[in-house]
Amino acid sequence: MPVVRGKDIEMLFSASAIARRNLELAKDIAARDYDNLLVISILKGSFIFAADLIRAMHDAGVEPEVEFIFISSYGSGTTSGEVKVLRDIDNDVRGRDVLLIDDILESGKTLKFTRELMVSRGAKSVSIAVLLDKRTRRQTEIDADYVGFECPDYFVVGYGMDVAHAFRELPFVGVVRGEA
């Protein structure tokens, strides 16, 4: 088991498995023939996935514009969870095909909120790509169009995802299993 900062990290999805899956997702996205695609990466958790996925999309012949939105959700996983925009995109989405990219789809609140925001601003279509889907945790009716992997109900870290601001830099997705 890899040891990082004195903790055992159990690897769930290796860097090479993620890279292979990103190529498949990119081909699926290319097959949809989006028009004038605007990718919106939801910060902070999706920054590494988005960076890899858009380069895989380039190899698959897709030429998106790229934006970032900083969304925070307090009390995620509870019914009182409040979602808000901490930093908005700079771009007009009216009439655009939008692809939202996030790290994990869990309760669904973050992506439901963000999708509705883009629809209300006049996006022509809003699709969703997530690296991980924790389906058993869903509290709202929402599904992603592109899912990297089904994720077991563990708190995962790495590949952009953190626990208390740590472990975002890991090149793989893993679970913290305690002291090494």
Tell me how far, at minimum, the Cβ of 101 lies from Mg ion, in Å: 11
Contact (CB, 8 A) for 101 and 46 = yes
Residue 25 DSSP symbol? H
User: CB nearest ligand IMP: which residue?
Assistant: 107
Identify the three-state secondary structure at position 155. Answer: coil
Which of ligand IMP, Mg ion, none has residue 108 at its interface (CB below 5 to 8 Å by kind)?
ligand IMP
The residues binding ligand IMP (CB under 6 A) are 45, 73, 76-77, 102-110, 155-156, 161
DSSP 31-97: HT--SS-EEEEEETTTHHHHHHHHHHHHHTT---EEEEEEEEEETTTSTT-EEEEEE--SS--TT-E
Which of ligand IMP, Mg ion, none has residue 73 at its interface (CB below 5 to 8 Å by kind)?
ligand IMP
**Nearer CB in complex with ligand IMP: 104/123:** 104
**Nearer CB in complex with Mg ion: 42/56:** 42
Contact (CB, 8 A) for 105 and 128 = yes
Find, among 74, 53, 18, 76, the residue nearest to 127 by Cα. 53
Tell me how far, at minimum, the Cβ of 162 lies from Mg ion, in Å: 9
Tell me how far, at minimum, the Cβ of 167 lies from ligand IMP, in Å: 9
**Nearer CB in complex with ligand IMP: 65/155:** 155
Q: Does 160 bind Mg ion (CB under 5 A)?
A: no
Which one of 45, 108, 158, 174 is in contact with Mg ion (CB under 5 A)? 45
Tell me how far, at minimum, the Cβ of 104 lies from Mg ion, in Å: 7
**Nearer CB in complex with Mg ion: 45/174:** 45
Amino acid residing at 82: E
Peptide bond into 124 cis (omega under 30): no
